[in-house]
Amino acid sequence: MIFKKILPYAYVFVILSLFFYSFTQVSLSLTLTRASFFQGIQRAFQEVGYFNRDISTLIFLIILVLMSVFYIYIINQAIKKKLKKNLVRNLVILSGLILSFSYVAFSFDLFNYIFDAKIITFYGENPYFKKALDFPGDPMLSFMHWTHRYYPYGPFWLILTVPLSFAGFQIFLLTYFLFKFLATGFYFGSVYLIYKISKRLHPGSELLNTVFFALNPLVIIEVLVSSHNDIAMIFFALLGVYLYLIKNKFLGIISVIVSLAIKIPTAVLLLPMAYNLLPIPKKYKLNDEKIIWSFVGLSVLGVLYSMTKLEIQPWYFLWVLPFIALLKLNKYILSIATGISVGLLLRYTEFLYFGNWDQVFIRNILTISAILISNIVAFVWSRKKENTLENTK
């Protein structure tokens, strides 16, 4: 009972810890502000992240463990129907607001998004034909990665980001936070859509489906801290699913097309949607449950295909999680998805500890171990109780 009362404060403390920890990873060649007082604080955080890597890794692991413990506890409260809607809303809003001001500790992609838009707004060039290295005098090149690549995303991402680049007046910190706020906004929108869709598909279990996605440690870190543009892709895909399920199939398909005009992975969603539009007998069409399962299966195939081209990155699982969140969740799904999420985040410990990505074996072992443990937990859990959540109502 006492734990339930302190839960919101304890959870926010962990989110604040993640917020402060993110600044240990500020690039050594990046100065966030010219104010000498804050420069001193920045150097103190960098001292931990870059020159005391064992301590930095330990802090990250403690934060990740605490986030996972709180996540599992909140999931269990949702299963037992003891979770309040107001609590979920407050935790989601506070997480988003706090981490909107965090540093992108685990990815440099946000800087590339900013520069891609800057190529248009400042240099007047086309990022599909010009890359960051074509502007060697730009100060952002000192802390960017992947400066050799051309713009790899769809045109709709530029439609979203170019106005932010104009609004930032080429002031780096202002532009940085505008891009962070954009990711947080899409996070809030995605959480709301999962709630609405789940309420339609699984009445009474919508809070479980919502917290499954919204408070998942991988979602918190990859969306709210690292601000990957996958969350924009996800939002429009979920909007498409929502519109499609309320029988506005045309607008649903248009929204998914907008989604893939940001990043291509959600293109697979069009297959089951298009299938249901074929002039075939109704008995052969996919019902809501089957269409959601098809989204999950096709998204998994998309991730597996990407793994044949590039090494798996933790945020790739964002392509699957939102659609798993729309399923009728059981304890096996919950355990496996949590294990995969934590296992993928553990891959960061290699860089945090060694300062490089050379130890492929170590990060693969960390990920596989977490997934295996989650499978064992799921098996034991399912043997003790019913596999579905129907009996918890």
Is the confidence at residue 199, as pLDDT, over 60? yes
pLDDT tens, position by position, 241-291: 999 998 789 999 999 999 999 999 999 999 999 999 898 888 888 999 999
Is the confidence at residue 389, as pLDDT, over 50? no
CB 91 within 8 A of CB 215: yes
CA 299, 305, 309 angle in degrees (round to 5)? 140
Higher pLDDT, 188 or 7: 188
**Residue 114 in 3-state DSSP?**
helix
- Predicted confidence at residue 171, as pLDDT, reads 94
CB 378 within 8 A of CB 336: yes
CB 262 within 8 A of CB 157: yes
Nearest C-alpha neighbor of 121 from the set 107, 133, 135 = 135
pLDDT band (50, 70, 90) for residue 168 = very high
Q: What is the mean pLDDT of the chain?
A: 92
Residue ranges covered by each domain of the chain: 2-108+176-392
Enter the pTM of the model: 0.93
Is the confidence at residue 1, as pLDDT, over 80? no
CB 118 within 8 A of CB 224: no
CA 96, 20, 219 angle in degrees (round to 5)? 40
- Predicted confidence at residue 37, as pLDDT, reads 79
- Predicted confidence at residue 2, as pLDDT, reads 60
- Predicted confidence at residue 391, as pLDDT, reads 52
Q: Give the burial class of 37: count Cβ atoms within 10 A of its Cβ; 0-12 exposed, 13-18 middle, 19 or more buried.
A: exposed
Q: Tokens 């449950």 correspond to what residue?
A: 289
User: How far is residue 125 CA from its own chain's centroid?
Assistant: 30
Nearest C-alpha neighbor of 231 from the set 221, 246, 243 = 221
